[in-house]
Structure 1
Amino acid sequence: MNIKRYKKEGLLIVIILLISGALLLANRIIFSKPANQVEISVNGEVVRTLDLNQDADILIEGYGDGTNRFVIQDGKVHVSEATCPDKLCMHQGWVQRTGENLVCLPNRVMARIIGE
């Protein structure tokens, strides 16, 4: 009895691993498009679209009196300064792949990497 149970559990583990691998591969294929722009929106409205191939240092005024400073360098972007209380947006690091986002909820600012 126990051998049948272990075979079923082993088969279930293998199936889960195969499905996980297939989903990971599909995700890589979908988001493998070359990223060439960052779209910055405030409160859901796009305010700037910038080229990732040109280094820049941009100050964006967010909701209320909040501001976020975005730095574009070497095809990557990150938040270098923010007036929000928790500064979580600054700790998100650099993003560079299509579909990645930088979000500052208190200032209602979002930067989204877009491809062609």
Structure 2
Amino acid sequence: MSLKKHKKEILLIVIILTAAGALLLVNQVLFAKPAEKAEISVDGNVIDTLDLSKDTEITVNGYNGGTNRIVIKNGKVHVSEATCPDKICVHQGWVEHTGENIVCLPNHLIVRVTGE
């Protein structure tokens, strides 16, 4: 391998790492607001907005009779139970940062963490 080609590869790696670092920094700045609320929507319609500072448990009726149990505890939110077949929303675990989402496609549910 020629030295010239080797230098080009190193330069490409440096450019990629610099771009990745810049994108990470931009992401941190954009989502730096502290999470305050969990916005719950079904079929694209916001049905409730919950305060993350108050421990809460609610059951949300989703699409076609499906349900999701949403738990807020210690400023975090998760779906503890769901009637959907795959339970991806349940396995997603706790979310707490602005911009994070929990999605249950079969029940058409989205829980979005916001900073407002």
TM-score if structure 2 supplies the norm length?
Answer: 0.98
Question: Could you list the runs of 5+ residues in structure 2 that have no partner in the other structure?
Answer: none
Structure 2 counterparts to residues 46-61 of structure 1, below 5 A: 46-61=46-61
- Over residues 24-55 of structure 1, what are the superposed CA-to-partner deviations in whole Å (9 max), with x where a residue is unaligned? 11101111101100000000000000000000
Partner Cα distance (1:54, 1:36) in 2: 10
Question: Could you list the runs of 5+ residues in structure 1 that have no partner in the other structure?
Answer: none
Letter in 2 for 1:8: K
What corresponds to 1:94 in structure 2? 94
Letter in 1 for 2:85: P
Partner-residue secondary structure (3-state), 2:103: strand
Partner Cα distance (1:105, 1:12) in 2: 39
- Over residues 8-36 of structure 1, what are the superposed CA-to-partner deviations in whole Å (9 max), with x where a residue is unaligned? 11011001100100101110111110110
Partner-residue secondary structure (3-state), 2:65: coil
What corresponds to 1:109 in structure 2? 109
Moved over 2 A (4+): none
Letter in 1 for 2:62: G
TM-score if structure 1 supplies the norm length?
Answer: 0.98
Partner-residue secondary structure (3-state), 1:57: strand
What corresponds to 2:38 in structure 1? 38
Partner Cα distance (1:74, 1:93) in 2: 14
RMSD over aligned CA atoms reads 0.8
Number of residues of Structure 1 aligned to a counterpart in Structure 2: 116
Letter in 1 for 2:38: V
Partner Cα distance (2:93, 2:31) in 1: 19
Partner Cα distance (1:105, 1:83) in 2: 11
What corresponds to 1:69 in structure 2? 69
Letter in 2 for 1:106: P
Identity value in percent: 63
